[in-house]
Copies of this chain bind each other. A is one copy, B any other.
Amino acid sequence: MIKTSDEKYLRAIYHLSEDKNNKVSLSELAYYLDLKPPTVLERVHVLQSEKWITYKKTDGIHLTKTGEKEALNVVRKHRIWETFLHKICKFSWSEVHELAEQLQNVNSEKLIDRIYDLSGTPKFDPHGDPIPDKSGKLPVSERRPLLNSVDGCKCVVLGVNEDSNEFLNYLTDLKIGLNEKLIVEKVFVFDGSMKIKYRNNESVILSPKVAEKIQVTCIKPNCPCKN
């Protein structure tokens, strides 16, 4: 059985190796976890001795098969809590993450199952990220960055690529949330910023930096947007 205190390590390693396919360094991990390298090194040795990860200075940190499965299970718990908090408890998008962090430590598969059912057995969490099933399989979606839209595209927000409070609060202010329908009125070619229409004909101009981080999927079939 895995220790609660190991779970955040596995989740962190999972996320880091997802992004930068595979090579996770000690200091990266330390930075991500907001801990100092010696602390992390110590734990990494333990995790290695427990066969959750492999680690060689030159090669970085990798999840083993077992480790990845365990990590996916933690990810599952985390995302189910996030979904529950957002959909059922009506927490805003930006409040959800920190709370889920705490709740994910609660140790009861049965509870997760119930919470999952209560939330309507979703395939994606409120950020639009896929929820692994119990065996660790991830559902696939058609998500792509809003940035890749063409003029006139009608799409729906599936999630975001960044978790910082600054970003999430910005979206909350604009009232761009999960499942929000957006119409791309115009893409300005010179810098890629775009005018978006949404809600009751409100509109806003989003910078390419923002548009890159909003994940959407087209509503109309055969929409010509790039993936």
A61 to B199, CA, bound (A): 59
Question: How many identical chains are in the complex?
Answer: 2
| CB <8 Å contact, A99 and B108 | yes
| CB <8 Å contact, A111 and B99 | yes
| CB <8 Å contact, A106 and B108 | no
User: CB < 8 Å: which of B90, B106, B118 contacts A88?
Assistant: B118
- A93-135 with Cβ < 8 A to chain B: 95, 99, 102-103, 105-108, 110-111, 114-115, 118
Determine whether A91 belongs to the interface, using a CB cutoff of 8 Å to chain B.
Answer: yes
| CB <8 Å contact, B99 and A106 | yes
A85 to B111, CA, bound (A): 8
User: Which residues of the partner chain B approach A103 to less than 8 Å between Cβ atoms?
Assistant: 103, 106
A contacts with B, residue count (CB < 8 A): 18
Determine whether A204 belongs to the interface, using a CB cutoff of 8 Å to chain B.
Answer: no
| CB <8 Å contact, B89 and A115 | yes
| CB <8 Å contact, A106 and B115 | no
User: Which residues of the partner chain B approach A90 to less than 8 Å between Cβ atoms?
Assistant: 114
User: Which residues of the partner chain B approach A107 to less than 8 Å between Cβ atoms?
Assistant: 102
A89 and B106 in contact, given A99-B111, A111-B99 (Cβ under 8 angstroms)? no
Chain B residue nearest in CB terms to A90: B114
- Inter-chain pairs besides A89-B118, A103-B103, 19 sampled, C-beta below 8 Å: A85-B111, A88-B118, A89-B111, A89-B114, A89-B115, A90-B114, A91-B110, A91-B111, A91-B114, A95-B110, A99-B106, A99-B108, A99-B111, A102-B105, A102-B106, A102-B107, A102-B108, A103-B106, A106-B106
